């Protein structure tokens, strides 16, 4: 067994049930915050309600057959604010609040309905929105402005290793896992569930993007420290887990 395989096995075994610590739920630790905290209410930009939006393509089987990773985008084409709202709604939008359980029900599966992910965005070409970094506030259907500085955009490119699909994207999604939301119930096993949940979210992005003539490229190759620093993620509490670039497809 190689050193790489040994390290993978160690990580895997650390999340065996017999190796888990008692989760916070069983130790009466505080219930996790399950909605994003807004840093500045005055910086919120409310998005269109995409509930009645009808994408051009609605045939699910056709969408599944056409879905593919796309790394080259039309750099002259913008997404509309409604298209962005549509993508956000069906990846991390809230379908229902379950008051009895204090959880949100969304359009993607999540272990125990913990929904640990927060969505951060690098926006470069969306009509009506300035280029910059944003945070999606799902329960308000709004974007919180984090930075509109050119330097912040360049840093987003750098943390994604300057991959072309990020530099040329209309929007790039950065998903961050809030550790305590899931570890409170599942202890160290949460580390497995973060990656499963991230896959569910990204697949919805692929399918929804395909329905509006956009391509997606899921990205796992990024500089963790730069990405976490860019979005002010304290790694003991949260960390960027997955990235995906989005842009209009090039005709032909």
Contact call for residues 211 and 204 (beta carbons, < 8 A): no
Alpha carbon distances (Å) from 97 to 94, 172, 240 = 7, 27, 25
CB atoms within 10 A of CB 190: 24
Integer Cα distance of 75 and 172 in angstroms: 14
CB atoms within 10 A of CB 249: 16
Q: Rounded to two decimals, what is the model's pTM?
A: 0.96
User: CA nearest 164: which of 240, 249, 83, 75?
Assistant: 75
Integer Cα distance of 153 and 33 in angstroms: 29
Predicted confidence at residue 203, as pLDDT, reads: 98
Contact call for residues 72 and 250 (beta carbons, < 8 A): yes
- DSSP letter for 47, please: P
Q: Which residue has the tokens 């990656």?
A: 195
Predicted confidence at residue 41, as pLDDT, reads: 87
Predicted confidence at residue 213, as pLDDT, reads: 97
Domains in the chain: boundaries = 3-248
CATH for 3-248, options being 3.40.30.10, 3.40.109.10, 3.10.20.30, 3.80.10.10: 3.40.109.10
Question: Tens-of-pLDDT digits for all 252 residues of the chain?
Answer: 899 999 999 999 999 999 999 999 999 999 999 899 898 888 899 999 999 999 999 999 999 999 999 999 999 999 999 999 999 999 999 999 988 888 999 999 999 999 999 999 999 999 999 999 999 999 999 999 999 999 999 999 999 999 999 999 999 999 999 999 999 999 999 999 999 999 999 999 999 999 999 999 999 999 999 999 999 999 999 999 999 999 999 986
């Amino acid at each position: 067994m190689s050193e790489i395989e040994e390290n993978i096995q160690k990580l895997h075994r650390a999340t065996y049930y017999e190796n888990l610590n008692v989760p916070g739920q069983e130790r009466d630790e505080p219930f996790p915050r399950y909605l994003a905290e807004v840093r500045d209410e005055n910086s919120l930009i409310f998005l269109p309600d995409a509930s009645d939006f009808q994408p051009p393509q609605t045939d699910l089987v056709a969408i599944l057959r056409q879905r593919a990773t796309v790394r080259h985008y039309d750099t002259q084409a913008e997404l509309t604010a409604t298209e962005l709202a549509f993508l956000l709604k069906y990846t991390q939008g809230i379908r229902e609040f379950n008051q009895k359980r204090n959880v949100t029900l969304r359009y993607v599966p999540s272990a125990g309905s913990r929904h640990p992910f927060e969505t951060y965005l690098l926006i470069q070409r969306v009509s009506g929105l300035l280029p910059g970094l944003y945070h999606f506030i799902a329960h308000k259907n709004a974007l919180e402005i984090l930075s509109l500085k050119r330097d912040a955009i360049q840093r987003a490119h750098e943390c994604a290793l300057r991959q072309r699909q990020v530099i040329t994207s209309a929007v790039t999604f950065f998903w961050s896992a809030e550790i305590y939301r899931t570890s409170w119930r599942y202890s160290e096993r949460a580390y497995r569930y973060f990656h499963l949940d991230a896959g569910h979210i990204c697949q919805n992005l692929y399918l929804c993007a395909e329905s509006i003539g956009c391509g997606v490229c899921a990205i796992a190759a990024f500089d963790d420290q730069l990405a976490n620093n860019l979005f002010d993620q304290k790694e003991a509490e949260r960390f960027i887990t997955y990235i995906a670039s989005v842009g209009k497809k090039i005709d032909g």
